[in-house]
């Protein structure tokens, strides 16, 4: 089969590789649609370590080709959505309700439940082995297309989790720092949780325009205004929840400084360098501030719930799929995505 293989920093591309073999608990899924995530860029740039020879990618819609005998959650031929995080459903973390930190990830607990394209081969391939398939195959309703559900696997689940972990309540004021795909979904998540005011922060004019379509009431250009001062002016002292959706020191600090006393910073970014915590912004540790981090929730029940939001017309993520490529064009797709050229947000890739 063909697959996108990581060979080393800034070296990757399509290779002919062997078909995945499945064992107990596994499913073999034929990929019908996948995409590129910001974390994949961290991998190909050498900023996040994975083994050389690893197939990249963790966002997946496909058709079940084969199942281990002990997997009864789907049947061969079913269209399925597979979450970016594949919890086992049986370890201490899973049974405690934090499946994203599943402790069965190849014996290395700090990896959590993110396996595809990380600790095992991933989704940018014609065929994918899905581990713990009983817990991770979510059947797609017949009336939903692949494109309607693809982005639920990672960016939507992650973005929504920023609002959930941040404890957004009815009537809250929320700031979302960076309006990339995850930030746009964080806007939607804050709205779904009952926020009265959502303030987006974004320097890219195309993304600022999209932010309003995806739930932001106000969108600030950090090149034109003092972000922290303007957020405090708009809210009368600071937001209840600030969601950091980029993974940069500057946006983290803006998020922290824009909180009201007792507010929550909900961090979704993947940080590729050292992150510093300024004492002033942290109120020297006595401001009753809360900082929480979240790894994308996964598993079939999470995917089912997100598909319900699509089926019932609460969300539509298809406008984020701005470009389409075949798997053989993956290097062009990465170049476009990495350069943020041509208004790109997310890319649909068909093997």
Q: What is the pTM of this model?
A: 0.93
- Tell me the per-residue pLDDT of 136-153, one tens digit each, with 9 for 90 and over: 999 999 999 999 999 999
Over residues 221-273, the pLDDT tens digits come to: 999 999 999 999 999 999 999 999 999 999 999 999 999 999 999 999 888 77
DSSP symbols for 150-195? HTIIIIIHHHHHHHHHTT--TT-EEEEE--SHHHHHHHHHHHHHT-
> Does 12 have pLDDT greater than 70?
yes
Q: Write the pLDDT tens digit of every residue in 85-100.
A: 999 998 988 998 889 9
Query: What does residue 11 show for φ and ψ, rounded to 5 degrees?
Result: -130, 115
Mean pLDDT of the residues in the chain: 94
Structural domains of the chain, ranges and CATH numbers in brackets: 2-151+317-350 (3.90.180.10), 159-293 (3.40.50.720)
Whether the predicted pLDDT of 106 surpasses 60: no
Query: What is the model's pLDDT at position 110?
Result: 53
Please provide the DSSP assignment of 250-307 as one string. Answer: HHHHHHHHTEEEEEEEEE-----S-----TTTTGGGTS--EEEE-----SHHHHHHHH
CA distance 177 to 243: 6
């Amino acid at each position: 089969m063909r697959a996108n293989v990581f060979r080393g920093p800034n070296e990757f591309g399509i290779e002919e590789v062997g078909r995945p073999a499945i064992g107990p608990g596994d499913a073999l899924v034929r990929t019908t649609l996948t995409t590129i995530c910001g974390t994949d860029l961290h991998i190909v740039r050498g900023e996040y370590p994975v083994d050389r020879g690893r197939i990249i990618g963790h966002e997946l819609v496909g058709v079940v080709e084969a199942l281990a005998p002990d997997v009864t959650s789907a049947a061969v031929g079913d269209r399925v959505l597979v979450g970016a995080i594949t919890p086992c459903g049986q370890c201490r973390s899973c049974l405690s309700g934090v499946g994203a930190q599943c402790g069965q990830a190849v014996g290395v607990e700090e990896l959590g439940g993110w396996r595809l394209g990380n600790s095992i081969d991933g989704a940018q391939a014609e065929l994918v082995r899905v581990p713990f398939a009983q817990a991770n195959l979510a059947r797609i309703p017949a009336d939903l297309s692949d494109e309607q559900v693809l982005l639920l696997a990672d960016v939507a689940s992650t973005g929504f989790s920023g609002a959930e972990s941040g404890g957004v309540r009815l009537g809250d004021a929320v700031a979302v720092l960076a309006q990339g795909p995850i930030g746009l979904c964080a806007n939607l998540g804050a709205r779904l949780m009952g926020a009265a005011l959502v303030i987006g922060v974004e320097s890219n004019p195309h993304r600022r325009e999209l932010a309003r379509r995806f739930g932001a009431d106000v969108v600030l250009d950090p090149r034109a205004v003092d972000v922290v001062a303007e957020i405090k002016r708009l809210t009368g002292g600071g937001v209840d929840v600030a969601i950091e959706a980029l993974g940069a020191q500057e946006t983290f600090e803006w998020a922290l400084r824009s909180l009201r006393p007792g507010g929550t910073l909900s961090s979704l970014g993947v940080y590729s360098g050292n992150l510093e915590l300024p004492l002033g912004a942290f109120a020297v540790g006595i401001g009753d501030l809360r900082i929480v981090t979240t790894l994308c929730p996964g598993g079939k029940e999470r995917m089912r719930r997100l598909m319900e939001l699509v089926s019932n017309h609460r969300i539509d993520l298809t406008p984020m799929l701005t470009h389409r490529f075949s798997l053989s064009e993956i290097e062009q797709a990465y170049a476009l995505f990495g350069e943020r050229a041509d208004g790109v947000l997310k890319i649909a890739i068909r093997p």
